[in-house]
A and B are shown apart, each in its own frame.
Chain A
Amino acid sequence: MIRVENLGVTFNKGTALENRALHDVNLSISAGEFVTVIGSNGAGKSTFLNLLAGEIFPSTGHIFIDGADVTNWPVQRRSSVLARMFQDPRAGICEDMSIIENIAIAAARTSPRGFRFAITDNVRKMAVERLSMLKLGLEKRLHDRVAMLSGGQRQAMSLIMATLGSTKVLLLDEHTAALDPAAAELVMKLTGEIVQKFGITTAMVTHSMRQALEFGSRTIMLHQGQIILDITGAERASMTVEQLVQMFRRKEGSEISDDQLLLA
Chain B
Amino acid sequence: MSLYAFIGALETGLAFALVALGAYLTFRVLDFPDLTVEGSFPLGAAVAAKLMVSGVDAWTATLAAGLVGCLAGFATAFLNRKLRILHILAGILTAIALYSVNLRIMDRPNIGLINMATVYTPFERLGVPSFYAPIVLLTVVVIVFKILIDLFLGTGFGLAMRAAGANPRMAQANGIQVGRMIVVGLGMANGLTALSGALFAQMLGAADVSMGIGVIVVALAAVIGGTALMPSRLVPMLTLACVLGSILYRIALALALSSDAIGLTASDVNVVTAVLVAIALWVPVRKSTFSRRPGGLK
Residues of A within 8 A of B (CB): 53, 75-77, 79-80, 83-84, 91-98, 101, 104-106, 108-110, 113-119, 145, 161
Contacts and interface: CB of A to CB of B under 8 A. Distances in A.
B259 interface: no
Given A98-B233, A108-B160, A117 B167 contact: no
Contact of B174 (A101, A105, A114): A105
Given A76-B175, A92-B170, 17 more contacts: A53-B173, A77-B175, A79-B172, A84-B173, A92-B173, A93-B167, A96-B166, A97-B163, A97-B166, A105-B171, A108-B160, A108-B175, A109-B174, A113-B156, A117-B155, A118-B155, A118-B158
Contacts of A97: 162-163, 166, 233
Nearest to B178: A76
B177 interface: yes
B159 A79 contact: no
A116 B167 CA distance: 22
Is chain A's binding surface mostly helix, strand, loop or mixed?
loop
B104 interface: no
B284 interface: no
A79 B177 CA distance: 11
Find the residue from A94, A104, A161 having the highest chain B CB count within 10 A.
Answer: A94
A83 B163 CA distance: 16
A93 B154 contact: no
A75 B156 contact: no
B101 to A, nearest CB: 32
Given A113-B160, A115-B156, A118-B155, A145 B233 contact: yes
Contact of B163 (A53, A94, A116, A119): A94
Contact of A118 (B159, B170, B174): B159
20 contacts: A76-B175, A76-B178, A79-B175, A91-B169, A92-B170, A93-B170, A94-B166, A96-B166, A96-B233, A104-B159, A105-B171, A106-B174, A110-B175, A113-B156, A113-B157, A113-B176, A114-B155, A115-B156, A117-B154, A117-B155
A243 B59 CA distance: 80
A109 B154 contact: no
A128 B108 CA distance: 62
Find the residue from B169, B174, B177, B178 having the highest chain A CB count within 10 A.
Answer: B174
B170 A114 contact: no
